Structure 1
């Protein structure tokens, strides 16, 4: 999301390509080989500068996996921003992404947001077409509940393999929903109960977007959770960024963090989360959670 220059339709520059190349090199150095895109990021420029990086580096495409998303249309002229999972739109957006990324195939395509007007049978027809033509290898969703996944999967012969959700130490409703059952606080949660369990039971990979909470615990601002993250980083000879990612990875649902930063130094700070198994103990995991909650568990 951070690649491609400004969030507008001005053309990207050579400097933007250099920045993207530095981010990709930092990710590879950190053991990260899967790259997450969306057709709307920087109005398509994020995919385009990544395609420029692929064109510069012979053999890079064979070393990595590319994931992208479609289903959101940004506001334009008098038309508001909206969601669009009509079959023709999906097919058109994927072909545009392939051209920008300069690749013949997308490893995983995610449907970016639920479209209330979408016909699951129509979506399934588009995904089958993309799969049959060899343009997309795997499919998944983003920001969807267990019920929405189940409804779509009923129309698909191809398994949905990913659900990407906002999950972090700051965005904790995904874990709170599982422990606040039968308490008054449960009514204030927006996370659909049972989604984690459904994904685990069906072998659907849970991906966490925003896992570093936009720097909330690593930007130097003091807070109980940030202070504890730094303390645990020293204890485990790693970085606070890694501690935050380990907190997600420690959950038995097998959460895969999607690191959103494009700054090479912050990408490298996440290296241990890619190359070392989470080292947080049961007690340390709970200490972080309670510090972020600011209140004891019920």
Structure 2
């Protein structure tokens, strides 16, 4: 498993993350097996959110009930959670009160004294960055949160926060897969008239994150689009799956590893957030952590997914 020190922190992280948004209805044994399989593969980074589960902090509580971590076991893990989404509505809330209350709820549910990383969960149109700064200062000073980041935010949204918060923004969690790659594809086709791919929708977020040492965390690495099913094995992507199958044979790894490697091969040094609850898929995906796809292979997958290389 490839690891690196998360810029802006002293936290050593793997480049693959286990997301735990779907464990609410899993038994203790199923949760332990899932997390144990991830750890056996070198995945020590766990991703939570206060809204995951059937109620507030549902999946965080399910995790704690199943694992019952000792202090030494907790120290061996990097635990990240997210706050800001309110399901009733739904709407977003980055107020000081909501962020502090959410973190306290996550700590209680997880049975821990601190989060390694807290992300603001999607952008809040009504954000008051001074409120976010006040929450970050309190959570940092109290030792409840070690580092801070965002999710699904544009360069200017991050710049607005950075003008006010004193802590570095260390991560931006963004949807990315071979077939859902506008944050990468736009730059390839820049200045191409009449091509939808060339339209700038995100302000050049990948380059921005590279320039500012913000780690991109790629969520839904196997989803074709926005939760509309996986592309692996799908008859919607015959050309892409033919290329994936050939590369799987060449490197003697499962298809999941090729899908992960397409992301980890990018020099932005991204993390891949897995959402599966199938232990076998976690093991398969982990094999893509440091798989050395060549530049021609990376671009072949990109073209096979339907993107234009001018």
- Give the structure-1-normalised TM-score: 0.90
2:106 is the alignment partner of 1:97: yes
Unaligned runs of 5+ in 2: 1-20
41, 59, 62: which is aligned to 1:30?
41
Alpha-carbon distance between aligned partners in 2 of 1:129 and 1:31, rounded to the nearest angstrom: 33
Alpha-carbon distance between aligned partners in 1 of 2:101 and 2:127, rounded to the nearest angstrom: 16
Q: Report the CA distance between 1:158 and its aligned residue.
A: 0.7
2:148 maps to what in 1?
Answer: 139
2:214 is the alignment partner of 1:204: yes
Q: After the TM superposition, which of the residue ranges 263-272 and 137-146 deviates more from structure 2?
A: 263-272
Q: Report the CA distance between 1:175 and its aligned residue.
A: 1.2
Alpha-carbon distance between aligned partners in 2 of 1:191 and 1:60, rounded to the nearest angstrom: 42
Alpha-carbon distance between aligned partners in 1 of 2:242 and 2:79, rounded to the nearest angstrom: 35
- Paired positions, count: 282
SS at structure 2 position matched to 1:60: helix
187, 206, 217: which is aligned to 2:231?
217
Q: Report the CA distance between 1:190 and its aligned residue.
A: 6.3
Query: 1:176-230: CA deviations, max 9, x gaps?
Result: 1102221222477563132111111111111000012266233464611112111
Alpha-carbon distance between aligned partners in 2 of 1:58 and 1:81, rounded to the nearest angstrom: 36
Q: After the TM superposition, which of the residue ranges 58-67 and 120-129 deviates more from structure 2?
A: 58-67
Paired residues of 1:180 and 1:186 also in contact (CA < 8 A) = no
Alpha-carbon distance between aligned partners in 2 of 1:167 and 1:118, rounded to the nearest angstrom: 25
2:272 is the alignment partner of 1:257: yes
1:285 maps to what in 2?
Answer: 298
RMSD: 1.8
Alpha-carbon distance between aligned partners in 1 of 2:51 and 2:170, rounded to the nearest angstrom: 22
Compared CA separation, residues 86 and 40, structure 1 to 2 (3 A): same
Alpha-carbon distance between aligned partners in 1 of 2:201 and 2:255, rounded to the nearest angstrom: 26
2:297 is the alignment partner of 1:297: no
SS at structure 2 position matched to 1:258: strand
Q: Report the CA distance between 1:20 and its aligned residue.
A: 1.2
Alpha-carbon distance between aligned partners in 2 of 1:142 and 1:189, rounded to the nearest angstrom: 21
258, 275, 284: which is aligned to 1:269?
284
Q: Report the CA distance between 1:236 and its aligned residue.
A: 0.6
1:41 maps to what in 2?
Answer: 52
Alpha-carbon distance between aligned partners in 1 of 2:200 and 2:308, rounded to the nearest angstrom: 21
Q: Report the CA distance between 1:58 and its aligned residue.
A: 6.8
Alpha-carbon distance between aligned partners in 2 of 1:231 and 1:261, rounded to the nearest angstrom: 24
Paired residues of 2:94 and 2:132 also in contact (CA < 8 A) = yes
Paired residues of 2:155 and 2:208 also in contact (CA < 8 A) = yes
Query: 1:273-292: CA deviations, max 9, x gaps?
Result: 23xx2311110001100000
1:9 maps to what in 2?
Answer: none
Unaligned runs of 5+ in 1: 6-14
